[in-house]
Amino acid sequence: MWHILGAGSLGTLWATRLARVGLPVQLILRDAERLNSYEQAGGLTLVEGDRVQRYPVAAQTADHPQPIQRLLVACKAYDAAQAVAQLAHRLQPGAELLLLQNGLGSQDEVARAVPQARCICVSSTEGAFRQADFQVVWAGHGHNWLGDPLRPEPPAWLADLQRAGIAHDWSPDILGRLWRKLALNCAINPLTVLYDCRNGALLDHAEQLAQLCHELSLLLNGCNQASAADGLYADVRRVVEATAANYSSMHQDVAQARRTEITYLLGYACRAAQQQRLHLPHLQALHAQLVAHLVARGLPSH
Ligand code: NAD
Ligand code: KPL
């Protein structure tokens, strides 16, 4: 049984793909009111190009008594630990959690909340967004890297992902992948918010991008992530060019007045720099500017 916590963009994308190949899936929704709205909606709807399909995936609330063996945590980084803690009493011995959260920091928070469970981290380049309640558009096919920083052996259920057509690889260096993605997000996302622009427009600010990549590389090296620092600036430019027409996820959050994941991205990077006693003035200034920008818009700055 796949229990899926959070029926947002990625939760829906995973739930529908697993359920449609006949795998048993249970969504875990916030409360009885949300379960009621879900039942009224008649299931999850996935929009893939012209194809719109509704899947009546089973759902329950957190207080349901069913034991949990495998839990896909599909909440935002700032909600993950609290949402998982509510389910701690339902986790079976040997339970496994898949953590889809972007950035770093939330994985440790979850591990502290449920020390009895195995935490598998996922770094995803898939793209999905909510069009309406329980209706998600699969905007960009991507890849998922899964790994466990503490235990190298892959779980047997990777075969389920294969069967569901969920593109994935087991990564022996998942922390390196998470750090690299964090560095990319720290270089690109805050600037798109501050300049209010699409990713491609950052090519007009190449010098600033290069300065940030230099400091992020120092940080990665200082945190024993030398391979994640390798060729960072070239990779940032490649991503900016490949996604030139897109708005970054942080830009979309701010534009829609939604809370951002700043604490787990640039905030995490700045805290790590402080711990390593690294002086990274451009990164710190960017963080201060982003915080001021969020506060000015009445959005949480943490
Ligand atoms: P989302 O906001 O669309 O979905 C999160 C869902 O979790 C919401 O439906 C929310 O109601 C639910 N939730 C929160 N607390 C809950 C609780 N206590 N119980 C039950 N449900 C709860 O977010 P998303 O876009 O799917 O992103 C999830 C994570 O995946 C983020 O860290 C994001 O950065 C990462 N990510 C997203 C994408 C994407 O394309 N959407 C791609 C890569 C990574
Ligand atoms: O992951 C991204 C995001 O928008 O969150 C990219 C496209 C890499 C930009 O940082």
Give 176-296's CATH code, choosing from 1.10.1040.10, 1.20.140.10, 3.55.30.10, 1.10.1060.10: 1.10.1040.10
Residues of the chain with pLDDT under 50: none
The CA–CA distances, whole Å, from 12 to 58, 134, 138, 278 equal 12, 7, 10, 40
Report yes or no: 126 and 16 within 8 Å, Cβ to Cβ.
Answer: no
For residues 99 and 273, give the distance between their C-alpha atoms in angstroms, rounded to a whole number.
24
For ligand 2, atom 9: residue with the closest CA: 248
- Provide CATH code, domain 2-171: 3.40.50.720
Which one from 180, 181, 251, 287 is the annotated catalytic residue? 181
Q: What is the pLDDT of residues 189-237, one digit of tens each?
A: 999 999 999 999 999 999 999 999 999 999 999 999 999 999 999 999 9
Among 126, 249, 262, 286, say which to mutate for ligand 2: greatest number of ligand atoms within 8 Å of CB: 249
pLDDT at 218: 98
* Residue 102, pLDDT score: 97
Residue 239 Cβ inside 6 Å of ligand 2? The answer reads yes
Determine which residue's CA is closest to atom 4 belonging to ligand 2. 248
**Cα 236 to ligand 2 centre (Å):** 10
- Domain locations along the chain: 2-171, 176-296
Q: What pLDDT sits at residue 168?
A: 98
pLDDT of residue 169: 98
User: Is the C-beta atom of 191 inside 6 A of ligand 2?
Assistant: no
Please give the Cα distance from 164 to 154 (Å, whole number). Answer: 17
Pocket test for ligand 1, best of 34, 63, 75 (most atoms within 8 A of CB): 75
Flag whether the pTM goes above 0.95: yes
Which pLDDT value is given to residue 44? 98
CA distance 72 to 241: 32
- CA-251 nearest atom, ligand 2: 4
Residue of 54, 81, 71, 82 whose CA lies nearest to 2: 71
* pLDDT number for residue 286: 98
| Ligand 2 and 188: CB distance under 6 A | yes
